[in-house]
Structure 1
Amino acid sequence: MKFVVKIVLIAGLSYIAEQFLPWWSVVLCAFLVNLLIPTKGFNAFISGFLGVGILWLVFAWMIDSSTDSILTDKIAQLFELNQSGLVVAATAAIGGLSGGFGALTGSLLRTINQKEVAKPGYYK
C-alpha cells in the first residue's frame, strides 16, 4: 500500500512542480518523497520510475494526440525510427529514469543518516 501511495505522491507533486519549475523538478519531488517515506533501494527506484514515467507518458501522449503527431513524426524521422510512438515511449523512459534515480538518492540518503542497530548475538 505504501508503494502505491508513493507513486501517487510522486506523480502528483511532480505534476504541480512542472507547472512552475523546470523539468528537473520531478527529480526533486521523487527525492523528497523517498527521503520522507522510508523504503529500500529497488523499491524506491521503481516508485520514482513509475511515478514520473507514467506522468511523462501521459503528458507526451496528450501533446502528441492534440498536435496530430507533427513534432513526434519529425523527431522520429530525425532518429530514423519507424513510429512516432517510440518517441513518446522514449520520453517516458527518460522521465522514469530521472525520477527513479532521484528516488533512489533520497532513499540512500535516508539510510546514511540512520544509526545501525546492533543485532542480537553480534558484537563490535
Structure 2
Amino acid sequence: MKSFAQFLLILILSYAAGMILPWWSAALVAFLITALYPSSPGKSFFISFMAVFVLWLVLAFYQDIRNDHLLANRMSITIMKVKSAPLIGVVSAFIGGLTAGFAGLTAAYIRSKKPEKATAR
C-alpha cells in the first residue's frame, strides 16, 4: 500500500508542478518523494518511472486527441521518419519516466548511504 501511495503522490505532485515549473520538475518531485518515503533502490526507480510514464502518456494522448493528431504526426515524421502519433507519445513518456526513475534511484541511494565514522589517526 505504501508503494501505491508513493506512486499516486509522485503522479499528482508531478502534474501540479508541471503546470507552473519546467518539464524536469517531475524529476524533482520524484527525488523529494523518494527521499521522504524511502524504499529500496529498485522499487524507487520503478515507482518513479511508472508514475511519470503514466502521467506523461495520458497527457500526451489527451493533447493528441484534442488537436486531431496533427502535431504528433508531424513530430513523428520529423523525428522518427514514421507517421505514428501513438509512438511519439510513448517515446516522450519513456523519456520522462527515465528522468524521474533516475531521480528516484538517486534519492534512494543517497538515503541508503551511511555516514562514515571518523577515525582517529
Deviation at residue 82 of structure 1 after TM alignment:
4.0
Structure 2 matches for 1:15-94, cutoff 5 A? 15-78=15-78, 79-94=80-95
Which aligned segments of 4 or more residues in structure 1 are displaced greater than 3 angstroms? none
Q: Distance in 2 between matches of 1:114 and 1:58?
A: 41
Deviation at residue 60 of structure 1 after TM alignment:
0.4
Aligned 8 A contact 2:74 2:83 in 1: no
Number of equivalent positions:
115
- Unpaired runs of at least 5, structure 1: 116-124
Normalised by the length of structure 1, the TM-score is 0.88
Normalised by the length of structure 2, the TM-score is 0.90
2:39 counterpart SS class? coil
Aligned 8 A contact 2:73 2:83 in 1: no
Partner of 1:106: 107
RMSD of the alignment, in Å?
1.3
Q: Distance in 1 between matches of 2:70 and 2:27?
A: 29
- Unpaired runs of at least 5, structure 2: 117-121
Q: Distance in 1 between matches of 2:115 and 2:44?
A: 17
Kindly, what percent of the aligned residue pairs are identical?
Answer: 36
